[in-house]
Amino acid sequence: MAAAGGNPAYRSAGRSRGAAPRRQARLPARPSIPDPPLGLAGSLRRFGDTGGGVRIGIIKSNFFPSGGGSERYTHGLVTQLQARHHAVHVLAARWDETAAAAGVTLQRVPALRWPAFARVLSFALNSRRALPTAGCDLILSIERTLRQDISRAGGGCHREWLRQRQRYRPGGARALAGLNPLHRALLWIEKRTFSPANTRVIIANSHRGKEEIIRHYGFPAERIRVIHNGTDNARFRPPPAPPARPQTVLLLAGSGFERKGLEFALRALARLPQTVRLEVAGKGRTAPYQRLAARLGVADRLRFLGSANRMEDVYAGADILVHPAIYEPFSNACLEAMACGLPVVSSRVNGAAEIIRPGLNGSVVEDPADSAALAAAITPFLDPAARARAGAAARQTAEALPMSLNVEKTLAVIEELRANPLPPASPP
Protein backbone atom coordinates (compact mmCIF):
# COMPACT_ATOMS: atom_id res chain seq x y z
CA MET A 1 0.00 0.00 0.00
CA ALA A 2 2.79 2.35 -0.72
CA ALA A 3 1.83 5.90 -1.47
CA ALA A 4 4.75 6.51 -3.75
CA GLY A 5 4.20 6.49 -7.51
CA GLY A 6 0.81 5.75 -8.95
CA ASN A 7 -1.30 7.58 -11.46
CA PRO A 8 -0.83 11.34 -11.07
CA ALA A 9 -4.49 11.88 -11.94
CA TYR A 10 -5.46 10.42 -8.60
CA ARG A 11 -3.31 12.72 -6.54
CA SER A 12 -5.91 15.45 -7.05
CA ALA A 13 -8.92 13.22 -6.81
CA GLY A 14 -10.04 14.25 -3.34
CA ARG A 15 -11.91 17.38 -2.33
CA SER A 16 -11.01 19.25 0.83
CA ARG A 17 -13.71 21.39 2.40
CA GLY A 18 -12.78 23.10 5.59
CA ALA A 19 -10.24 20.42 6.46
CA ALA A 20 -7.39 20.94 8.85
CA PRO A 21 -4.04 21.89 7.33
CA ARG A 22 -2.59 18.47 8.08
CA ARG A 23 -5.41 16.81 6.10
CA GLN A 24 -4.96 19.23 3.24
CA ALA A 25 -1.33 18.27 2.98
CA ARG A 26 -2.26 14.63 2.48
CA LEU A 27 -5.18 15.23 0.13
CA PRO A 28 -4.71 18.28 -2.08
CA ALA A 29 -7.77 20.39 -2.55
CA ARG A 30 -9.79 19.71 -5.67
CA PRO A 31 -9.77 22.79 -7.93
CA SER A 32 -12.96 24.64 -8.69
CA ILE A 33 -12.64 23.66 -12.36
CA PRO A 34 -13.47 20.10 -13.41
CA ASP A 35 -10.91 17.42 -12.53
CA PRO A 36 -8.19 16.84 -15.10
CA PRO A 37 -8.80 13.95 -17.49
CA LEU A 38 -8.63 10.59 -15.84
CA GLY A 39 -6.37 7.92 -16.94
CA LEU A 40 -3.10 6.60 -17.92
CA ALA A 41 -2.29 9.13 -20.64
CA GLY A 42 -0.26 6.46 -22.41
CA SER A 43 2.18 6.11 -19.52
CA LEU A 44 1.36 2.94 -17.59
CA ARG A 45 4.05 2.16 -15.06
CA ARG A 46 5.32 -1.38 -15.32
CA PHE A 47 6.42 -3.42 -12.32
CA GLY A 48 9.37 -5.74 -12.74
CA ASP A 49 8.37 -7.81 -9.71
CA THR A 50 5.04 -8.67 -11.35
CA GLY A 51 6.52 -9.94 -14.60
CA GLY A 52 5.83 -6.71 -16.46
CA GLY A 53 2.25 -6.49 -15.31
CA VAL A 54 0.14 -3.53 -14.34
CA ARG A 55 -0.83 -2.56 -10.79
CA ILE A 56 -4.62 -2.54 -10.94
CA GLY A 57 -6.73 -1.09 -8.15
CA ILE A 58 -10.14 -2.69 -7.72
CA ILE A 59 -12.82 -0.99 -5.64
CA LYS A 60 -15.30 -3.41 -4.05
CA SER A 61 -17.04 -2.59 -0.79
CA ASN A 62 -17.28 -6.22 0.39
CA PHE A 63 -14.58 -8.58 -0.82
CA PHE A 64 -15.80 -12.03 0.18
CA PRO A 65 -14.68 -14.64 -2.36
CA SER A 66 -17.39 -17.09 -1.29
CA GLY A 67 -20.18 -14.51 -1.07
CA GLY A 68 -22.87 -13.58 -3.57
CA GLY A 69 -22.64 -13.42 -7.34
CA SER A 70 -20.86 -10.06 -7.42
CA GLU A 71 -18.33 -11.19 -4.83
CA ARG A 72 -17.68 -14.46 -6.69
CA TYR A 73 -17.19 -12.51 -9.91
CA THR A 74 -14.72 -10.13 -8.23
CA HIS A 75 -12.74 -13.01 -6.77
CA GLY A 76 -12.60 -14.69 -10.17
CA LEU A 77 -11.42 -11.46 -11.78
CA VAL A 78 -8.72 -10.96 -9.17
CA THR A 79 -7.54 -14.56 -9.48
CA GLN A 80 -7.30 -14.33 -13.26
CA LEU A 81 -5.48 -10.99 -13.15
CA GLN A 82 -2.94 -12.44 -10.73
CA ALA A 83 -2.44 -15.44 -12.99
CA ARG A 84 -1.49 -12.98 -15.74
CA HIS A 85 1.17 -11.40 -13.47
CA HIS A 86 -0.71 -8.21 -12.69
CA ALA A 87 -0.50 -6.80 -9.19
CA VAL A 88 -3.96 -6.40 -7.69
CA HIS A 89 -4.74 -3.83 -5.01
CA VAL A 90 -8.24 -4.18 -3.56
CA LEU A 91 -9.85 -1.20 -1.83
CA ALA A 92 -12.65 -2.54 0.35
CA ALA A 93 -14.52 -1.83 3.53
CA ARG A 94 -14.70 -5.47 4.58
CA TRP A 95 -13.12 -8.77 3.65
CA ASP A 96 -12.75 -12.24 5.13
CA GLU A 97 -9.87 -14.60 5.85
CA THR A 98 -10.15 -16.17 2.39
CA ALA A 99 -9.58 -12.80 0.77
CA ALA A 100 -6.67 -12.02 3.07
CA ALA A 101 -4.99 -15.26 2.00
CA ALA A 102 -5.49 -14.63 -1.71
CA GLY A 103 -2.17 -12.83 -2.19
CA VAL A 104 -3.62 -9.42 -3.03
CA THR A 105 -2.90 -6.10 -1.39
CA LEU A 106 -5.88 -5.10 0.73
CA GLN A 107 -6.54 -1.51 1.72
CA ARG A 108 -9.26 -0.66 4.20
CA VAL A 109 -11.73 2.01 3.09
CA PRO A 110 -13.65 3.30 6.12
CA ALA A 111 -17.40 3.02 5.78
CA LEU A 112 -20.23 3.32 8.25
CA ARG A 113 -22.15 0.10 8.80
CA TRP A 114 -25.55 1.68 9.44
CA PRO A 115 -27.82 3.16 8.19
CA ALA A 116 -27.65 1.87 4.65
CA PHE A 117 -27.59 5.27 2.94
CA ALA A 118 -24.68 6.36 5.15
CA ARG A 119 -22.84 3.14 4.34
CA VAL A 120 -22.93 3.65 0.56
CA LEU A 121 -22.20 7.38 0.82
CA SER A 122 -19.28 6.97 3.20
CA PHE A 123 -17.74 4.22 1.09
CA ALA A 124 -18.05 6.24 -2.12
CA LEU A 125 -16.51 9.34 -0.54
CA ASN A 126 -13.76 7.53 1.32
CA SER A 127 -12.78 5.36 -1.64
CA ARG A 128 -12.16 8.54 -3.64
CA ARG A 129 -10.04 9.94 -0.81
CA ALA A 130 -8.04 6.69 -0.71
CA LEU A 131 -7.00 6.80 -4.36
CA PRO A 132 -3.87 8.95 -3.88
CA THR A 133 -2.45 6.40 -1.42
CA ALA A 134 -3.21 3.29 -3.45
CA GLY A 135 -0.21 3.63 -5.78
CA CYS A 136 -2.04 2.05 -8.73
CA ASP A 137 -1.69 2.49 -12.46
CA LEU A 138 -5.39 2.15 -13.07
CA ILE A 139 -8.55 2.04 -10.98
CA LEU A 140 -11.40 -0.31 -11.87
CA SER A 141 -14.47 0.08 -9.71
CA ILE A 142 -17.07 -2.64 -9.27
CA GLU A 143 -19.19 -0.32 -7.15
CA ARG A 144 -20.97 2.98 -7.71
CA THR A 145 -18.10 5.30 -6.82
CA LEU A 146 -17.00 8.84 -7.57
CA ARG A 147 -13.69 8.51 -9.38
CA GLN A 148 -12.23 5.71 -11.50
CA ASP A 149 -10.73 4.94 -14.89
CA ILE A 150 -13.14 2.10 -15.58
CA SER A 151 -16.51 1.54 -13.98
CA ARG A 152 -17.86 -1.98 -14.28
CA ALA A 153 -21.60 -1.44 -14.05
CA GLY A 154 -22.32 -4.92 -12.75
CA GLY A 155 -25.16 -3.58 -10.61
CA GLY A 156 -26.78 -1.99 -13.62
CA CYS A 157 -28.61 1.30 -13.47
CA HIS A 158 -30.38 2.03 -10.16
CA ARG A 159 -32.64 4.59 -11.81
CA GLU A 160 -33.87 1.89 -14.20
CA TRP A 161 -34.35 -0.55 -11.32
CA LEU A 162 -36.61 1.96 -9.58
CA ARG A 163 -38.55 2.51 -12.80
CA GLN A 164 -39.11 -1.20 -13.28
CA ARG A 165 -39.99 -1.66 -9.61
CA GLN A 166 -42.76 0.93 -9.83
CA ARG A 167 -44.62 -1.33 -12.27
CA TYR A 168 -45.19 -3.88 -9.51
CA ARG A 169 -45.74 -1.74 -6.41
CA PRO A 170 -48.85 0.08 -5.25
CA GLY A 171 -48.95 3.86 -5.47
CA GLY A 172 -48.26 4.51 -1.78
CA ALA A 173 -45.18 2.33 -1.83
CA ARG A 174 -43.95 4.16 -4.91
CA ALA A 175 -44.17 7.51 -3.14
CA LEU A 176 -42.32 6.18 -0.09
CA ALA A 177 -39.57 4.75 -2.30
CA GLY A 178 -38.96 8.24 -3.66
CA LEU A 179 -38.35 9.50 -0.11
CA ASN A 180 -36.04 6.63 0.87
CA PRO A 181 -32.61 8.10 1.71
CA LEU A 182 -30.85 4.97 0.40
CA HIS A 183 -32.36 5.40 -3.05
CA ARG A 184 -31.55 9.11 -3.02
CA ALA A 185 -27.95 8.39 -2.02
CA LEU A 186 -27.53 5.73 -4.71
CA LEU A 187 -28.94 8.03 -7.38
CA TRP A 188 -26.62 10.85 -6.28
CA ILE A 189 -23.59 8.57 -6.53
CA GLU A 190 -24.75 6.93 -9.75
CA LYS A 191 -25.11 10.26 -11.52
CA ARG A 192 -21.46 10.95 -10.78
CA THR A 193 -20.30 7.45 -11.62
CA PHE A 194 -21.92 7.63 -15.04
CA SER A 195 -20.36 10.98 -15.88
CA PRO A 196 -17.50 11.21 -18.41
CA ALA A 197 -15.84 13.73 -16.11
CA ASN A 198 -15.34 11.00 -13.50
CA THR A 199 -15.14 7.80 -15.55
CA ARG A 200 -13.20 7.17 -18.72
CA VAL A 201 -14.90 3.95 -19.82
CA ILE A 202 -17.89 1.98 -18.58
CA ILE A 203 -18.06 -1.78 -18.89
CA ALA A 204 -21.68 -2.91 -19.10
CA ASN A 205 -22.39 -6.61 -18.71
CA SER A 206 -25.24 -6.58 -21.23
CA HIS A 207 -26.40 -4.58 -24.23
CA ARG A 208 -29.55 -3.80 -22.26
CA GLY A 209 -27.43 -2.27 -19.49
CA LYS A 210 -25.54 -0.14 -22.01
CA GLU A 211 -28.79 1.23 -23.41
CA GLU A 212 -30.07 2.08 -19.90
CA ILE A 213 -26.95 4.07 -18.99
CA ILE A 214 -27.12 6.04 -22.23
CA ARG A 215 -30.86 6.68 -21.86
CA HIS A 216 -30.77 7.83 -18.25
CA TYR A 217 -27.41 9.61 -18.08
CA GLY A 218 -26.31 10.39 -21.62
CA PHE A 219 -22.91 8.75 -21.22
CA PRO A 220 -21.17 8.63 -24.62
CA ALA A 221 -22.00 5.35 -26.33
CA GLU A 222 -18.50 5.05 -27.77
CA ARG A 223 -17.12 4.92 -24.21
CA ILE A 224 -19.22 1.93 -23.15
CA ARG A 225 -17.97 -1.61 -23.75
CA VAL A 226 -20.27 -4.62 -23.38
CA ILE A 227 -18.57 -7.60 -21.76
CA HIS A 228 -20.83 -10.41 -20.62
CA ASN A 229 -20.12 -12.00 -17.26
CA GLY A 230 -17.85 -15.02 -17.12
CA THR A 231 -17.87 -18.04 -14.86
CA ASP A 232 -15.51 -20.62 -13.44
CA ASN A 233 -16.44 -23.64 -15.53
CA ALA A 234 -14.14 -25.89 -13.51
CA ARG A 235 -15.92 -25.07 -10.27
CA PHE A 236 -19.41 -24.89 -11.74
CA ARG A 237 -19.99 -28.04 -13.76
CA PRO A 238 -22.66 -30.73 -14.07
CA PRO A 239 -22.50 -33.50 -11.47
CA PRO A 240 -20.98 -36.76 -12.76
CA ALA A 241 -24.29 -38.58 -12.43
CA PRO A 242 -27.38 -36.47 -11.76
CA PRO A 243 -29.30 -38.14 -8.94
CA ALA A 244 -32.77 -39.46 -9.54
CA ARG A 245 -35.29 -37.44 -7.60
CA PRO A 246 -38.99 -38.11 -7.04
CA GLN A 247 -39.67 -34.41 -7.53
CA THR A 248 -38.51 -31.75 -9.98
CA VAL A 249 -36.59 -29.07 -8.11
CA LEU A 250 -36.81 -25.46 -9.23
CA LEU A 251 -34.14 -23.16 -7.84
CA LEU A 252 -34.28 -19.40 -7.34
CA ALA A 253 -30.83 -18.09 -6.39
CA GLY A 254 -29.90 -14.63 -5.21
CA SER A 255 -30.52 -12.16 -2.42
CA GLY A 256 -33.19 -9.48 -2.71
CA PHE A 257 -36.25 -11.63 -3.23
CA GLU A 258 -38.46 -8.83 -4.53
CA ARG A 259 -36.02 -8.00 -7.30
CA LYS A 260 -35.43 -11.68 -8.15
CA GLY A 261 -39.17 -12.22 -8.60
CA LEU A 262 -39.80 -14.77 -5.85
CA GLU A 263 -43.48 -13.78 -5.68
CA PHE A 264 -43.91 -14.63 -9.35
CA ALA A 265 -42.03 -17.90 -8.99
CA LEU A 266 -44.43 -18.92 -6.21
CA ARG A 267 -47.48 -18.03 -8.29
CA ALA A 268 -46.08 -20.08 -11.17
CA LEU A 269 -45.37 -22.96 -8.78
CA ALA A 270 -49.05 -23.04 -7.85
CA ARG A 271 -49.84 -23.74 -11.53
CA LEU A 272 -47.39 -26.61 -11.83
CA PRO A 273 -47.84 -30.27 -10.84
CA GLN A 274 -47.53 -31.33 -7.20
CA THR A 275 -44.29 -33.10 -8.10
CA VAL A 276 -42.58 -29.73 -8.60
CA ARG A 277 -41.05 -27.89 -5.64
CA LEU A 278 -39.10 -24.65 -5.25
CA GLU A 279 -35.88 -24.03 -3.32
CA VAL A 280 -34.61 -20.53 -2.62
CA ALA A 281 -30.95 -19.73 -1.94
CA GLY A 282 -30.02 -16.27 -0.70
CA LYS A 283 -30.68 -13.66 1.95
CA GLY A 284 -33.91 -11.79 2.46
CA ARG A 285 -37.15 -11.59 4.44
CA THR A 286 -38.81 -14.97 4.16
CA ALA A 287 -42.01 -14.41 6.20
CA PRO A 288 -44.01 -12.54 3.48
CA TYR A 289 -43.28 -15.29 0.97
CA GLN A 290 -44.07 -18.07 3.39
CA ARG A 291 -47.47 -16.44 3.98
CA LEU A 292 -48.02 -16.11 0.22
CA ALA A 293 -47.05 -19.76 -0.27
CA ALA A 294 -49.58 -20.76 2.39
CA ARG A 295 -52.33 -18.79 0.64
CA LEU A 296 -51.42 -20.40 -2.68
CA GLY A 297 -51.37 -23.88 -1.16
CA VAL A 298 -47.70 -24.54 -1.94
CA ALA A 299 -46.13 -24.05 1.50
CA ASP A 300 -45.11 -27.71 1.64
CA ARG A 301 -43.34 -27.33 -1.73
CA LEU A 302 -41.19 -24.37 -0.70
CA ARG A 303 -37.84 -24.49 1.10
CA PHE A 304 -35.50 -21.63 1.99
CA LEU A 305 -31.83 -22.63 2.01
CA GLY A 306 -30.39 -19.36 3.30
CA SER A 307 -26.97 -18.16 2.19
CA ALA A 308 -24.73 -20.82 0.73
CA ASN A 309 -20.93 -20.68 0.44
CA ARG A 310 -20.81 -23.62 -1.97
CA MET A 311 -23.30 -22.66 -4.65
CA GLU A 312 -22.06 -25.48 -6.87
CA ASP A 313 -23.64 -27.93 -4.41
CA VAL A 314 -26.91 -25.98 -4.49
CA TYR A 315 -27.03 -26.12 -8.29
CA ALA A 316 -26.27 -29.85 -8.16
CA GLY A 317 -29.39 -30.33 -6.05
CA ALA A 318 -31.66 -28.57 -8.56
CA ASP A 319 -33.09 -29.35 -11.99
CA ILE A 320 -34.12 -25.94 -13.37
CA LEU A 321 -33.12 -22.39 -12.49
CA VAL A 322 -36.07 -20.02 -12.43
CA HIS A 323 -35.24 -16.32 -12.40
CA PRO A 324 -38.32 -14.14 -13.06
CA ALA A 325 -36.52 -10.94 -12.08
CA ILE A 326 -38.18 -7.55 -12.35
CA TYR A 327 -34.73 -6.06 -12.95
CA GLU A 328 -31.36 -7.74 -13.43
CA PRO A 329 -28.32 -6.32 -15.27
CA PHE A 330 -26.91 -9.82 -15.89
CA SER A 331 -27.50 -12.58 -13.39
CA ASN A 332 -24.36 -14.47 -12.40
CA ALA A 333 -26.63 -17.19 -11.05
CA CYS A 334 -28.04 -17.80 -14.52
CA LEU A 335 -24.59 -18.33 -16.00
CA GLU A 336 -23.40 -20.47 -13.09
CA ALA A 337 -26.54 -22.62 -13.33
CA MET A 338 -25.95 -23.08 -17.05
CA ALA A 339 -22.39 -24.17 -16.31
CA CYS A 340 -23.88 -26.78 -13.97
CA GLY A 341 -26.11 -28.08 -16.74
CA LEU A 342 -29.40 -26.47 -15.69
CA PRO A 343 -31.82 -24.96 -18.16
CA VAL A 344 -32.68 -21.38 -17.19
CA VAL A 345 -36.10 -19.74 -17.29
CA SER A 346 -35.83 -15.99 -16.85
CA SER A 347 -37.42 -12.68 -17.74
CA ARG A 348 -36.64 -10.30 -20.60
CA VAL A 349 -35.43 -7.60 -18.18
CA ASN A 350 -32.53 -9.84 -17.16
CA GLY A 351 -29.42 -9.01 -19.19
CA ALA A 352 -28.62 -12.73 -19.16
CA ALA A 353 -31.60 -13.20 -21.47
CA GLU A 354 -29.10 -12.25 -24.19
CA ILE A 355 -27.46 -15.67 -23.83
CA ILE A 356 -30.66 -17.71 -23.42
CA ARG A 357 -31.86 -19.44 -26.58
CA PRO A 358 -35.54 -20.25 -26.04
CA GLY A 359 -36.27 -23.91 -26.58
CA LEU A 360 -32.55 -24.73 -26.66
CA ASN A 361 -30.97 -23.87 -23.27
CA GLY A 362 -33.93 -22.30 -21.48
CA SER A 363 -36.82 -19.90 -21.92
CA VAL A 364 -37.51 -16.18 -21.62
CA VAL A 365 -40.81 -14.62 -20.50
CA GLU A 366 -41.68 -11.08 -21.48
CA ASP A 367 -43.50 -10.22 -18.23
CA PRO A 368 -42.22 -11.90 -15.05
CA ALA A 369 -45.57 -11.21 -13.33
CA ASP A 370 -47.43 -13.34 -15.88
CA SER A 371 -47.57 -16.51 -13.80
CA ALA A 372 -49.35 -18.49 -16.53
CA ALA A 373 -46.62 -17.64 -19.05
CA LEU A 374 -43.91 -18.42 -16.51
CA ALA A 375 -45.43 -21.82 -15.68
CA ALA A 376 -45.78 -22.55 -19.40
CA ALA A 377 -42.10 -21.67 -19.95
CA ILE A 378 -41.06 -24.08 -17.18
CA THR A 379 -43.32 -26.96 -18.24
CA PRO A 380 -41.29 -28.32 -21.22
CA PHE A 381 -38.29 -28.85 -18.93
CA LEU A 382 -40.27 -31.02 -16.51
CA ASP A 383 -39.66 -33.85 -18.97
CA PRO A 384 -36.32 -35.44 -17.98
CA ALA A 385 -35.16 -36.06 -21.56
CA ALA A 386 -35.97 -32.49 -22.67
CA ARG A 387 -34.32 -31.16 -19.53
CA ALA A 388 -31.16 -33.18 -20.19
CA ARG A 389 -30.90 -31.84 -23.76
CA ALA A 390 -31.43 -28.25 -22.59
CA GLY A 391 -28.94 -28.74 -19.77
CA ALA A 392 -26.26 -29.93 -22.19
CA ALA A 393 -26.90 -26.89 -24.41
CA ALA A 394 -26.75 -24.64 -21.34
CA ARG A 395 -23.35 -26.08 -20.45
CA GLN A 396 -22.10 -25.31 -23.97
CA THR A 397 -23.29 -21.72 -23.56
CA ALA A 398 -21.35 -21.36 -20.32
CA GLU A 399 -18.24 -22.93 -21.82
CA ALA A 400 -18.23 -20.14 -24.40
CA LEU A 401 -18.21 -17.56 -21.58
CA PRO A 402 -15.39 -18.57 -19.23
CA MET A 403 -14.05 -16.13 -16.68
CA SER A 404 -10.78 -16.08 -18.60
CA LEU A 405 -12.55 -14.56 -21.62
CA ASN A 406 -14.12 -11.87 -19.44
CA VAL A 407 -10.68 -10.99 -18.06
CA GLU A 408 -9.10 -10.94 -21.51
CA LYS A 409 -11.72 -8.51 -22.74
CA THR A 410 -11.31 -6.37 -19.62
CA LEU A 411 -7.55 -6.27 -20.13
CA ALA A 412 -8.17 -5.29 -23.76
CA VAL A 413 -10.04 -2.24 -22.48
CA ILE A 414 -7.08 -1.40 -20.24
CA GLU A 415 -4.66 -1.71 -23.15
CA GLU A 416 -7.00 0.34 -25.33
CA LEU A 417 -6.87 3.17 -22.81
CA ARG A 418 -3.10 2.87 -22.65
CA ALA A 419 -2.62 2.97 -26.41
CA ASN A 420 -5.32 5.53 -27.22
CA PRO A 421 -5.97 7.88 -24.29
CA LEU A 422 -9.46 9.27 -24.53
CA PRO A 423 -9.82 13.06 -24.67
CA PRO A 424 -11.59 14.80 -21.80
CA ALA A 425 -15.33 15.07 -22.12
CA SER A 426 -17.81 17.35 -20.49
CA PRO A 427 -20.68 15.79 -18.56
CA PRO A 428 -24.04 15.92 -20.36
82 and 157 assigned to the same domain: yes
The answer to pTM > 0.75 is: yes
Instruction: Dump strand ranges (E) for 310-373.
Output: 320-323, 344-347, 362-365
Tell me how far apart the alpha carbons of residues 284 and 304 are, in angstroms, rounded to a whole number: 10
277 and 397 assigned to the same domain: yes
Report whether pLDDT(384) > 50.
yes
163 and 292 assigned to the same domain: no
396 and 410 assigned to the same domain: no
Give the pLDDT confidence score for residue 194 in this predicted structure.
97
Report whether 219 contacts 192 (CB < 8 A). Answer: no
302 and 412 assigned to the same domain: no
Please indicate, yes or no, if residue 309 is contained in any of the structural domains.
yes
183 and 64 assigned to the same domain: yes
Please indicate, yes or no, if residue 2 is contained in any of the structural domains.
no
Domain of 376, CATH number, reads 3.40.50.2000
Report whether 255 contacts 328 (CB < 8 A). Answer: no
Q: What angle do CA 185, 188, 191 make, to 5 degrees?
A: 145
333 and 316 assigned to the same domain: yes
81 and 214 assigned to the same domain: yes
Number of domains in the chain: 2
pLDDT digits (tens, 9 = 90+) for 143-195: 999 999 999 999 999 999 999 998 887 665 555 566 799 999 999 999 999 99
Amino acid identity, residue 281?
A
pLDDT digits (tens, 9 = 90+) for 257-311: 999 999 999 999 999 999 999 999 999 999 999 999 999 999 999 999 999 889 9
Q: Where are the alpha helices (DSSP H) in 311-380?
A: 311-316, 332-339, 371-378
Please indicate, yes or no, if residue 66 is contained in any of the structural domains.
yes
Q: What domain range is 157 assigned to? A: 8-230+404-419
pLDDT digits (tens, 9 = 90+) for 309-350: 899 999 999 999 999 999 999 999 999 999 999 999 999 999
Please indicate, yes or no, if residue 58 is contained in any of the structural domains.
yes
Give the pLDDT confidence score for residue 185 in this predicted structure.
96
